Structures are given as structure tokens and as C-alpha cells.
Amino acid sequence: MNPSNRITKMLVTSAPGATLLVRLVVGAVFLSEGLQKFIFPAALGAGRFAKIGIPWPGFTAPFDGIFEIGCGLLILLGLATRLATVPLIIDMLVAIATTKLPMLFKSGFWAMAHEARTDWSMLLGATFLLIVGGGSWSIDARLTRKSGTRRD
């Protein structure tokens, strides 16, 4: 299979237009969180990363913020939706491992469950988009319709 066929297959989606709703929430939350890492670096960027023990916070927080902004925008547009979800799924797994698991052991299940609701929602929303793609109201669908590719 040539590379352009692999790319086209990654873009193809048969998900309904309502998938746009999941894209809007997932994309907007990640875009917002990425921007806030730069707007409030002490509280949500490098300062937060240092507080929770993530190595090289001066590098990793802006790096993470750039991915959240870029991938959030791609998801909002429905462009390379599946590809854009992969770094965000990794991001959420790291967030849960570094912030929510310690909270579980320190404060118990219900405190962790309350604080983790957005993390789990974003993880599951991004995973849903990885599986189904951007939906019929996405740039991905528009590009594959023009090329005549169908999802089987």
C-alpha cells in the first residue's frame, strides 16, 4: 500500500455528523488547557509540572502546551482527527498517572473520582475519536469524499 493510501485510510470516517459534538468538547478543552499553560505558567504550566515532579518542567510544560493547542485545533477542525488524538491520549494517561493515582492513595477514591472527571472524559472522548474519526462534518470526511474513498 502506498503512503497516500495509508493517509487516506486514516482520514476516512463513517461516523455521524453528531460526532462534531464530541470533537467540539475534546478540541475546546485541550485548546484551552494548552493556552493556559502559557497564560498562567506558574499555576498551570512549568510551575505545576515542577510541583507534581515532571522532569524538565521548563521544557515539558510548553512542549505539552503546544501539542494540546495544535491537536485541539486539529480536532476542532476535524483534520487528521485520528492522528491528533494519539498525543492527547498519551497526555491524559500521564496526567492520570502523575496527579490522580497519587490522589487516590492519599485522599481516597471519591476525592480522586471528583478531581479526575475531566481527565477521564477527555481520555474517553479522544479514544472515541481515535476509533471513529472526525465524523461526516469534518475536513477529513470532506477530503476523502473528494478522493472517492469509502470506509468499508
Here the cell at position 68 is 494540546
Q: Residue 8: inside a domain, yes or no?
A: no
pLDDT tens column, 6-16? 777 788 999 99
Task: Give the count of alpha carbons within 13 A of 62, CB side only.
Answer: 4
Do residues 150 and 9 lie in contact, with contact meaning Cβ atoms separated by under 8 Å?
A: no
Q: Residue 39: inside a domain, yes or no?
A: yes
Here the cell at position 22 is 464530541
- Split at pLDDT 50, 70, 90, the class of 122 is very high
Q: Residue 86: inside a domain, yes or no?
A: yes
Here the cell at position 96 is 492520570
Task: Determine the pLDDT at residue 7.
Answer: 72
DSSP string, 11-53: H-----TTHHHHHHHHHHHHHHHHHHHHHSHHHHSHHHHHHTT
Range of the domain at 81: 21-132
Domain count, the chain: 1
- The angle subtended at Cα 41 by Cα 106 and Cα 68, nearest 5°, is 85
d(C-alpha 147, C-alpha 107), whole Å: 53
Task: Determine the pLDDT at residue 148.
Answer: 63
Q: Residue 36: inside a domain, yes or no?
A: yes
Here the cell at position 17 is 455528523
Q: Residue 145: inside a domain, yes or no?
A: no
Task: Determine the pLDDT at residue 149.
Answer: 57
pLDDT tens column, 31-86? 999 999 999 999 999 999 999 999 999 999 999 999 999 999 999 999 999 999 99
Q: Residue 139: inside a domain, yes or no?
A: no
Do residues 31 and 72 lie in contact, with contact meaning Cβ atoms separated by under 8 Å?
A: yes
Q: Residue 142: inside a domain, yes or no?
A: no
Q: Residue 14: inside a domain, yes or no?
A: no
Q: Is pTM, for the whole model, over 0.85?
A: yes
